[in-house]
Amino acid sequence: MNVVVAGAGTIGSLYAAHLAQVADVGVLTRRDEHARTLNEHGLRVSGRADFTARVHASTDPDELGGADLVIVACKGGDLELLAAQLAGRFAGATLMTVQNGLGAEEVVAPRGDWPLLSAVTFMSGTRRADDHVEYVLDTATWIGPFRDTSAADAEAVAALIRSSGLRAEAFPDLRPAQWSKLIFNATVNTVAALTGLPHDFHFAEGMLGELVHGLVDEGKAVAAAAGVELSEDPWEMNVHATRRGHAHYPSMLEDVSAHRPTEIELIAGSLVREAERRGVAVPLHTTLYRLVKAKEASYS
Amino acid sequence: MRVAIIGCGAVGSLFAANLARLDDVEVWAYDAYGAHVDAINAHGLRLSGAGEVVGRLRATAVPGELPPCDFGIVATKAMHTSSAIAAAAHAFADGCVATVQNGLGNEEAIAEHVARVIRGTTFPAGRLLAPGHVQWDVKGDTTFGPFEPKPAPHAEVERLADACTRAGMPAKAVADARGPQWRKVIFNAATNPIGALTGLTHGRVCERPDLRALVSGLVDEGKAVAAAQGIGLDADPEELIDHAAKPEVAYDHKASMLQDVEARRTTEIDYLNGGIVRFGREHEVPTPLNQAIWALVKGVEQSWTK
C-alpha cells in the first residue's frame, strides 16, 4: 500500500507518521528544507503517541512514485497551488481531501479524474518542528464518498487509518458531518481569533456563550436551507469541547497570534457565501468574518 | 467658587489646569495616582500642545481631604465612577456634580451618591506625558445640561459652563444634553471596538467597505435606541466618522480602546456598546451587533486573566 500525504502541516504530519506504521508513505512538502529534514530524521510524534516514523519526502510529486491513496491535507489557502501540482499525476490513486470548510473537493476535482473521497477531521495537534508533531486530540476523521467512490471505499480508507492508530469513521453521506463541523469551526475559530481566548468555558456561558449560540443558530438556518440534516448539534459539540478539561487553541487563533494568513475564507467565508446563495441572513457570521479579515489586513 | 476634579487624568487635567487660571475659582483635584498628585502640588499642573498652561491647584489622593465644593467634575474612566464618587460625595453635599466622561451610565452612578447631577459631554483630548504634565492634543467643546432624574438647577449649570468658557474650555449650558452625549457614544461605540478587535487605525477601518458597513450597522442600532428615547442627535455620527477618517484629521489615530487592549487595560466597552445594549433593552430596541461586539471585547479582556 502506497500513500502520499500532500501537505505536511499538523494534520498532514499526523497522518503521515501514523500511516507509515502500516504503509509506505510519501510526503509532499512545500519547502526543500522541510523534505530534507524529514528524510534525514524521520517524523517524530509525541503527546498521545510516541514514536518516530520513516517517511520519504519531497517537494516534487514525481519523486514520490505512484500511490494508491493521496491524502490532501494542506491548509485551505495552499489548496489551489497544491491541486495544480497534483494535476496529471498519481493516476490510479484515490484522492481524499481533508480540509476545513466547504469546497475543497470542488477545487481538486477539475485537476484530474481520480476517484474522490471527502473527509473532515476533528483530531488536532501542535507542530513542534518540521520533523516533530505533538498529537493532542485523538478525535476521529470522518470520511464519505464524493466522486466515483462508494461507502465501501470510504470504509476501506477509514479502516486503513484506524489500523495506523488514529480514529476514523466512514459515512454514506459526509455532508451532515461536514456541515456540523463547518458551523462549529466558523463559530469557534473566529471567536477565538478575535478574543484571544482558547476554546474554554467562556464559549459556553455568559455573554460570549450567547454570541456563540447565536452564531450556531445562524449556521443551522443555512444548513436547513441547503437541505442538510446535521449529524451533530454544533452547540453541543461546543459545550462538550469546552469540558474536555484542557484549553484547546483553535488554529485560527494560532494563525493570528503568529501573524499568519488564516483559513477565514474557507471556513467563515464559505458559510457566509452559502448563506447568501440560499438567501439566509447571517449578520453575526458576516460581522465576525469581516473582523477576522480586517485583523489579517492589520498585519499583512 | 470651588471646583473639585474627580479623576485628574488627561481630560480631568485639562479642566483642572485651565480652571485654575481663573482668579475666582479655587481648584482641587482628587486622583489615585500618587506621583501625579505629588507633582501637581510641588510644581503645578502643566499642559503643553494645544495650549501652554501651568495651573496652581491643590491635589490629593485622599478623598477625605476635599473641602465642601460648589462643583465636581468627574473625569475618571467610566469603570471607576462609582468608587470615586462614593469616596468624594461628602464634598458635594451642597454642590452639583458634572460628568465629562465617555459612555452611558455615569450620571446614574453619580446620582446614587449626590443630589444634583449635570450631564456632560466633552470633546477635548490629551494624554498624560509624565506626573504633573499633560499633552493637550485636541481642543473642543463641552456641553452641560441637567441629569433629568436628579437635575442641577439651570442657573448652576450655566455658572459651571461660564467658568469653563472663561478658562479657555468652551462650554454650553443646554436644557437637554443627551443629543451630544449620544452622538459621541454612538461614534465611539461604532468605531473604537472595531479598532480594538482588528488592530486597525480609524482611517483603515473606514476605507474597508465591508468594515465601514459594519460600522454603519452599529451606528444604526445606536440611532434607533436614541430615537426610542426621544433624543435628537445634534449631528449625524456617520458624517463625524467619515470626517475623522480623513488623512488630515484622524486617519492614523489608534482608538483609545485599541490602546487599552494593546496595554491590556480594562476597556470602556461596558459603557459604550454595553450601554447601548442596556438602553436598547429598556426601550425594546434590538441591538444584536452591539451585543456581539460587546461580548467579543469582554472576551478579549477575559483572555488576559487566564
B292 touches chain A (CB under 8 A): yes
Here the cell at position A171 is 459515512
Here the cell at position A51 is 514514536
The answer to whether residue A245 scores a pLDDT higher than 80 is no
Nearest alpha carbon to residue B92 among B59, B119, B70, B62: B70
First-to-last alpha carbon distance for chain A, in angstroms, is 42
Segment B146-164 shows an average pLDDT of 97
**Rg value, chain B, Cα:** 19
Mapped onto helix, strand or coil, the DSSP state of residue A196 is coil
Are the CB atoms for A4 and A90 separated by under 8 Å? yes
B172 touches chain A (CB under 8 A): no
Are the CB atoms for B196 and A294 separated by under 8 Å? no
pLDDT digits 0-9 by tens, A255-275:
999 999 998 988 999 999 999
Contact state of A194 with B210 under an 8 Å Cβ cutoff: no
pLDDT digits 0-9 by tens, B41-66:
999 999 999 999 999 999 999 999 99
- Residue A104: predicted pLDDT: 86
- Residue A178: predicted pLDDT: 87
Tell me which residue in B197, B208, B292 faces A211 most closely, judged by beta carbons.
Answer: B292
Give the DSSP letter string of B281-306: HHTT---HHHHHHHHHHHHHHHHHT-
Contact state of A294 with B302 under an 8 Å Cβ cutoff: no
Contact state of B198 with A208 under an 8 Å Cβ cutoff: no
Number of alpha carbons in the 13 Å side-chain half-sphere of residue A233 = 7
pLDDT digits 0-9 by tens, A86-130:
999 999 999 999 987 777 888 999 999 999 999 988 898 999 999
The separation between CA B250 and the C-alpha centre of its own chain, rounded to angstroms, equals: 18
Are the CB atoms for B7 and B76 separated by under 8 Å? yes
Report the alpha-carbon distance of residue A184 to residue A212 in Å, rounded.
Answer: 9
Tell me which residue in B194, B289, B294 faces A207 most closely, judged by beta carbons.
Answer: B294
Mapped onto helix, strand or coil, the DSSP state of residue A199 is strand
The label of the residue with cell 462538550 reads: A240
A273 touches chain B (CB under 8 A): no
Question: Which residue does chain A place closest to B208, by CA atoms?
Answer: A294
pLDDT digits 0-9 by tens, A275-287:
998 999 999 999 9
Contact state of B300 with A202 under an 8 Å Cβ cutoff: no
Are the CB atoms for A100 and A113 separated by under 8 Å? no
Would the ipTM clear 0.95, i.e. be above it?
Answer: no
The answer to whether residue B96 scores a pLDDT higher than 90 is yes
Q: Residue A298's pLDDT band (boundaries 50, 70, 90)?
A: very high
pLDDT digits 0-9 by tens, B60-75:
999 999 999 999 999 9
Here the cell at position B215 is 460600522
Contact state of A291 with B208 under an 8 Å Cβ cutoff: no
Report the alpha-carbon distance of residue A69 to residue A86 in Å, rounded.
Answer: 13
CB atoms within 10 A of CB A124: 18
Are the CB atoms for B157 and B163 separated by under 8 Å? no
Segment A56-85 shows an average pLDDT of 93
Q: How far is B236 from chain A (nearest CA, A)?
A: 23
pLDDT digits 0-9 by tens, B12-38:
999 999 999 999 999 999 999 999 999
B67 touches chain A (CB under 8 A): no
Contacts with A287 from chain B: Cβ below 8 Å: 214, 217, 289, 292-293
Q: Residue B137's pLDDT band (boundaries 50, 70, 90)?
A: confident
C-alpha angle B198-A268-A212 in degrees, rounded to nearest 5 = 80
Residue B224, C-beta contacts closer than 8 angstroms, at least 6 positions apart: B280, B285, B287
Mapped onto helix, strand or coil, the DSSP state of residue A156 is helix
Question: Which residue does chain A place closest to B292, by CA atoms?
Answer: A211
Segment B102-128 shows an average pLDDT of 95
Q: What are phi and psi of A31, to 5 degrees?
A: -110, 140
Q: Residue B306's pLDDT band (boundaries 50, 70, 90)?
A: low
Residues 184-223 of B with CB under 8 A from A: 194, 197-200, 204-205, 208, 210-211, 213-214, 217
pLDDT digits 0-9 by tens, A133-176:
999 989 899 999 999 999 999 999 999 999 999 999 999 999 89
Report the alpha-carbon distance of residue A122 to residue B139 in Å, rounded.
Answer: 55
Question: Which residue does chain A place closest to B197, by CA atoms?
Answer: A194
Here the cell at position B6 is 474627580
Q: How far is B249 from chain A (nearest CA, A)?
A: 20
Distance set, CA A74 to CA A39, B38, B164, B188 (Å)? 19, 60, 64, 41
- Residue A202: predicted pLDDT: 96
- Residue B255: predicted pLDDT: 84
Q: How far is B109 from chain A (nearest CA, A)?
A: 23
Active-site position among B77, B139, B172, B184: B184
A258 touches chain B (CB under 8 A): no
Mean pLDDT check: name the lowest of A82-86, A158-162, A203-207, B124-128.
B124-128
- Residue B249: predicted pLDDT: 82
Contact state of A207 with B205 under an 8 Å Cβ cutoff: no
Tell me which residue in B200, B208, B296 faces A194 most closely, judged by beta carbons.
Answer: B296
Mean pLDDT check: name the lowest of A29-38, A270-279, B269-278, B289-298.
A270-279
Contact state of A283 with B295 under an 8 Å Cβ cutoff: no
Contact state of B288 with A195 under an 8 Å Cβ cutoff: no
Here the cell at position A280 is 439566509
Report the alpha-carbon distance of residue A103 to residue A82 in Å, rounded.
Answer: 15
Here the cell at position A52 is 518516530
Report the alpha-carbon distance of residue A79 to residue A264 in Å, rounded.
Answer: 14
- Residue B247: predicted pLDDT: 87
Give the DSSP letter string of B101-164: -SSSSHHHHHHTT-S-EEEEEE--EEEEEETTEEEEEE---EEEEE-TTSBPPHHHHHHHHHHH
Residue B171 carries which DSSP code? E
Report the alpha-carbon distance of residue B181 to residue B232 in Å, rounded.
Answer: 10
The label of the residue with cell 470520511 reads: A143
Tell me what the pLDDT averaged over chain B comes to: 96
- Residue A280: predicted pLDDT: 97
pLDDT digits 0-9 by tens, B234-288:
899 999 999 989 988 888 888 889 989 999 999 999 999 999 999 999 999 999 9
Report the alpha-carbon distance of residue A150 to residue A117 in Å, rounded.
Answer: 9
Nearest alpha carbon to residue B233 among B289, B285, B172, B187: B187
- Residue B125: predicted pLDDT: 86
Contact state of A290 with B214 under an 8 Å Cβ cutoff: yes
Tell me which residue in B200, B295, B302 faces A298 most closely, judged by beta carbons.
Answer: B200
DSSP H/E element including A180: helix A175-195
Residue B66, C-beta contacts closer than 8 angstroms, at least 6 positions apart: B4, B28, B30, B60, B88, B90, B91
Contact state of B200 with A196 under an 8 Å Cβ cutoff: no
Segment A197-220 shows an average pLDDT of 97
Are the CB atoms for A94 and A37 separated by under 8 Å? no
Residue B184 known to be catalytic:
yes
Question: Which residue does chain B place closest to A299, by CA atoms?
Answer: B199
pLDDT digits 0-9 by tens, B205-226:
999 999 999 999 999 999 999 9
* Pairing state between β B26-30 and B2-6: parallel
Amino acid at A165: G
Contact state of A291 with B194 under an 8 Å Cβ cutoff: yes
Contacts with B298 from chain A: Cβ below 8 Å: 207-208
Mapped onto helix, strand or coil, the DSSP state of residue A169 is strand
Contacts with B217 from chain A: Cβ below 8 Å: 283, 287
